[in-house]
Each structure stands twice: as C-alpha cells, then as structure tokens.
Structure 1
C-alpha cells in the first residue's frame, strides 16, 4: 500500500436489540470521525435486522448526518439495488447530494440474503439480472435522460453524482467499463492474494472513457483488542452466514483461524499495519475503509478504535489527515 489515499470508516449500525439510540450513536461517530480528519464515513443497509444491522434506509440517516457535519463524505456500503425502485432511489440520492453539498458516495450491490429477497417479492436467483436492469434505469435518471415520452427528467438534478458511483462485485471488468469505483473486501473462500488480483484486473480493464479515474474502496474489518463480547458476535455472524448458505464449510478450530478466514485484522498496532501493507496498492484516488464495530461494540470503544487508526495506523501507511483532531 502506498501513501496518499483517503481514509474512511464503515458502520453497519449494529445493535443487539433495536433502540433509536443506535442512530444517534452513528451520528456521533460521524461527527467524531470528521473531527479526527477521516475523509469518509459509510453505512450499510440491512433489512429486517439481518446480522443485527438496524438500518434499512441509509439515505435517511445520511441526510441527518449531513446536517451535523461539514466536510466528511457520506457513503453507502452498500444499498441492495435489486430491492430498490431505481427512480425513487435516484430522487432520494439527488436530494441528499444537494443537502450535503455533493458529499454523497453511492455504493451499490446485488445483495445475498435470501430472506430479504422473499420479503420484497424478488427472486434471489435473479438478483444479478435485476441488478443490471435497475442500474441501467438508475444511470438513465442520474444522467438526465428523458424518462417518459413527454420528456420528464429527474428533478432535482443530480449533477456529478453519476461520477461518484461504486459497485461491490467480483465482475470487475463491468465496473471498469462503466467507469465506476470498485468496493472490495476479503472473500472468506479465497486467499488474501485474491484481493490484489481483483484490483489488478479492475485497473487493467479501466478505459477512463467517462473522464473519471479508476478508484478502489478497500473495506477491512479491524479489531485492535477483541474481547469476549466481540468473540460471541463473530461466532454468531459465522453461524448465520452458514445457515443461509453464504459461508461454506464448518466452524474453524479456534477463534484466530476464524478471524483470518474472514479477513478481520487484530492484535498489536504493528501487526495490523504489517497486514494492511500486504494488501492492494492504494493511490490518491482510492480509499481505505475500516470497520471497527461488531454487534456489541459500545460507542466509546468504536471512537477509541478510530483514534488508534488516526494516531498510529493510518499515518504509518502514508495517510495525511485533512482535519484537526479535537
């Protein structure tokens, strides 16, 4: 990894049980991250509290965050596009982008949870087909194409947002062809080197025809000091992923093996830095996005993890803060 990249964090808005406080805590985490100089903050979409994620409507929460922050970019990592009405998504995204003065980074994916697809009346097996259809409609709207025979177009206009789209998929050649950013994370079924190869394929396929640079968002879970609650959270996560067929194989023999399989970095700061340095090379157009929470992580511990990243880990990788820590 080289220096000069942007630094972000990812919140899955986890909570063991639903409490509106989880939204206020996420808002506070964004405010603290901005004060620490983080360049972006991202939230994940979960329907029906799958994996204990409590945020079905990312753009609504990001709109509240936009009014309480000034500089930090606001990302979705990701919105499950096959379950969305593309034009409505375009309208909501356009309004949020205006409210935030162009800070929205719109991350999209096909999703994986069969239960949520059934609830939305969608076929899980057809999610990639639906993704491509919905993406085409979304791009038409964001690109100011006429949407009816009489010439109706997206209002308000989403100027520039089409150049801030990200896709989470292994079909990296398609992402490059469309000129979008690539969201990549460790794959538990592949060795760590697969991420480096994925990024190389994406960069090699890049044409730059739409005038934007190739850009990578590397997502990595980072837990400096996993405690007993964290261990229980991760074991429960693995069990659920296995139950819905996303994670193949049996339980690992020990906790460290589970963390390694999931690509979760942990241990002393020096060890985490060394592990991050072994990943794909990041440039000035790329982002390193770190997840520091599991289901039971209190806000104070998440903030402390961001402080450790800001003070010790990111600078050692070549990152320079754009804000001032308070």
Structure 2
C-alpha cells in the first residue's frame, strides 16, 4: 500500500474536558491546563468538544475565551458546536468577541441538524417554536453571513447618546475564513467546500459508497476539494505508549479493546461507522497513519484524546505526540 511521504504541516489535539458533577471547577481548570501544555509543547492547535446536559464542556466558546488569556500563540478551535442549540446572531457575537480577545486565533467548527434527544429537550430549548425551527444549512448560512459582516438590520446610526451598528460587533476580520464544518457525509463535504468552509474529518463517517472507513473518508475529502474546498484536518484517536507506564499501557489497551467492537460495520438508519483507535509506539502509529488513505490527503490533524483518562495520562499522551509521533510524521513544533 502507498505510504504518505509529505510531512505533516500542522499538529493539533482535541479534548472533551470532563468534570466531576460535584466539583466542576477542577475539571474546567484541568482543561485549561491541558491547552496551556499544548502550547508549551509546540502544538499548532487545541480544540474542544461540546457536551450539552452532560459532564463535559457545555460552553466551548467560554472555555476558549479563558484559554485565550492563558496562551499567546496556539490556535483555538471548537469541534464542533451543534448549531441546533444556538441562535446564529448571538453566536456570531460570541465568536467575534473571543477571536478579538485571542488576537485572531479562533477556529470555530460547527455542524447542523436537530439537537441530540430533541424530543426530550425541545420544550426547554424552544418552548414556542420547537416544531418550526430550521436546523438545515440555512441556519449555518446565517451564521456565516453574520460573522462575515453582512447587514443584520436596516437600522444604524446615533440615537440619543448611543451609536448603533447594522452588523455584528465586534467585527473580527479574517474569522470567516477560519470557519470549519464537521462533515461526515458526501453531502456535508460538498456543501462545506462550495460555501468557503474548511473541513473537519473525525473518526465517524456515514457509509455511503463503501464499508471501508479510510475509503469513505477519502471520498469525502475528494468531494470537498472538487467543490472548491481548502483546508482539511483529520481527527482520529491515537494513543502513543512510548513513555507510558505499564499500568497506563494496560489501561489504554483495555479502553481500545472495549471500543473496537463498535468499529468495522455500519450501524443505524444513517449507516454511521467508527474508525478504530490507533494505539502503540509512535513509530507504529506513524506507520499505520501513513498507510491510511484519508490521512495521505491531509497535512494537518487534530488528534482526539480519549474520553475518560486521568490528567497525568493526557500529559503523557500529549508529550509523546509532540516529541515523538509528530516528528515521526515529519512535523516540526512551532
């Protein structure tokens, strides 16, 4: 099988940011510590997940606002914000504010569709409009227009001593070009490419033309580029064990084995598929990645950290990624 020969240009990581229900402060501060460590290790980007009504990051924009004040160089991204939970106008204001605070380092990743468990949450989220809310790409287009500086209202000017703008303020120049879409289907990849978004590929795809994960993801990347798309980032789960203790290796292996059963075959009416987690030494992981058809087509990644590990595990994994796996893939720290 052909091997990837071009060096990896940008190295990032993705964290879920778990916390204890009875001590949420500690988990949130640990997430900020992990992002700060990523910058120290030379990572190009740090990304956070969302977890609404769970014990993970419910407000990624707020987390990244805090992270922007603890870092100075590393790009800060969301992977991804589900727009079904958001008002596009208000989200555009929040994203622009954090981008300004970060000095232009924000990389917002979003997705469309109704919120998870919508029937259970819709009366709390949209009590008057639950049955007429639009969760299509039109919702995303509104966000893109507002972030890009399109007019929001016909009113502007001075009223008394107050001055009003007809577009979102602050306006963050360049933010529109740093918007990403979390796509796992041919349709989403094509839409993202034709609407000037960057593409986030994860370890989940929709099996439409094949039941081989790498082939499926490759078709999404090609479709994205055929529709004019630019940057593509891949986000598989990798667990290097170079400096792990024997106890950590055993825990990591058990984690991977428990998750492997869900891989290999599509599930559900939309035929979703998961990619296997990749565990081993950095040299072993690099060899597997270099043979991955989709990885061969990208020059930047945001490796996903496992969900339920301890802080010291994340420190070991990130350190090995930055000091061993990254260089194996041709990457040089910032």
Q: What is the TM-score when the length of structure 2 is the normalising length?
A: 0.79
Q: Distance in 2 between matches of 1:187 and 1:316?
A: 25
Give distance in 1, aligned partners of 2:130 and 2:224.
26
The answer on whether the counterparts of 1:238 and 1:247 sit within 8 Å (CA) in structure 2 is no
Tell me the residue number matched to 1:220.
Answer: 236
CA distance in structure 1 between the partners assigned to 2:114 and 2:314 by the alignment: 27
- Match in the other structure for 1:271: 284
Q: 1:7-30 CA distances to partner (integer Å, 9 max, x unpaired)?
A: 000001124645321111111111
2: CA distance, partners of 1:266 / 1:247 = 28
Match of 2:315 among 285, 298, 303: 303
Query: What is the aligned partner in structure 2 of residue 255 from structure 1?
Result: none
Q: Which moved more, 1:74-83 or 1:260-269?
A: 260-269
Partner of 1:291: 304
Which residue number in structure 2 is paired with residue 210 of structure 1?
A: none
Deviations 1:208-246 (A, max 9, x none): xxxxxx10010011123554477469848989xxxx958
Measured in 2, the distance between the counterparts of 1:234 and 1:64 equals: 35
Distance 1:262 1:111, change over 3 A: farther
Deviation at 1:31, TM superposition (A): 0.9
Residue in 2 aligned with 1:39?
44
Inter-CA distance 30–117: structure 2 relative to 1 (3 Å threshold): farther
Task: Rate the CA distance shift 1:217–1:236 in 2: closer, same or farther, 3 A.
Answer: closer
The reply to whether residue 176 of structure 1 matches residue 190 of structure 2 is no
Which residues of structure 2 form unaligned runs of 5+?
A: 157-165, 242-248
User: How far does residue 103 in structure 1 lie from its aligned partner after superposition?
Assistant: 0.3
Please state how far the C-alpha of 1:108 moved relative to its aligned partner.
Answer: 0.3
Question: Residue 172 of structure 1: CA displacement?
Answer: 1.1
> Which residue in the other structure is 1:13 paired with?
17
SS of equivalent to 1:220: coil
Q: Are residues 44 and 116 of structure 1, via their aligned partners in 2, closer, same or farther at CA, if it must alter by over 3 Å?
A: farther
1:161–1:277: structure 2 CA closer, same or farther, 3 Å change rule? Answer: same
Aligned: 1:198 with 2:198: no
Structure 1 residues 109-137: Cα deviation after superposition (integer angstroms, max 9, x where no partner):
1267632564144699999x514122121
SS in 1 for 2:233: strand
Taking the aligned partners of 1:130 and 1:27, their CA distance within structure 2 comes to 31
- Structure 1 segment 9-88 matched on structure 2, within 5 A: 9-15=13-19, 17=21, 19-49=24-54, 52=55, 54-88=56-90
User: What CA RMSD, in Å, does the superposition of the two structures yield over aligned residues?
Assistant: 3.1
1:120-160 CA-to-partner distances (Å, cap 9, x unmatched) read: 44699999x51412212112211221112225211111211
SS at match of 2:135: helix
- Structure 1 residue corresponding to 2:138, chosen from 111, 133, 141: 133
CA distance in 2, matches of 1:116, 1:20: 28
In 1, distance between residues paired with 2:219 and 2:132?
A: 27
Q: Kindly tell me: are residues 237 and 84 of structure 1, through their superposed partners in 2, closer, same or farther at Cα, counting changes over 3 Å?
A: farther
Q: Which has the higher contact order (CA 8 A, sep 6+)?
A: 1
The Cα of 1:39 is off from its aligned counterpart by 0.3
Distance 1:320 1:282, change over 3 A: farther
**Cα distance in 2 between the residues matched to 1:58 and 1:11:** 11
Counterpart in the other structure of 2:172: 158
* Residues 40 and 75, structure 1, Cα contact 8 Å, conserved in 2: yes
- Whichever of the two has the greater Rg, that structure is 2
Q: Secondary structure of 2:149's match?
A: coil
1:252 equivalent in structure 2: none
Q: What secondary structure sits across from 1:159 in the alignment?
A: coil
1:159-208 per-residue CA deviation (whole Å, 9 max, x = no partner) reads 1100000001222111111111001123365412221222122122217x
2:150 is aligned, of 145, 150, 157, to: 145
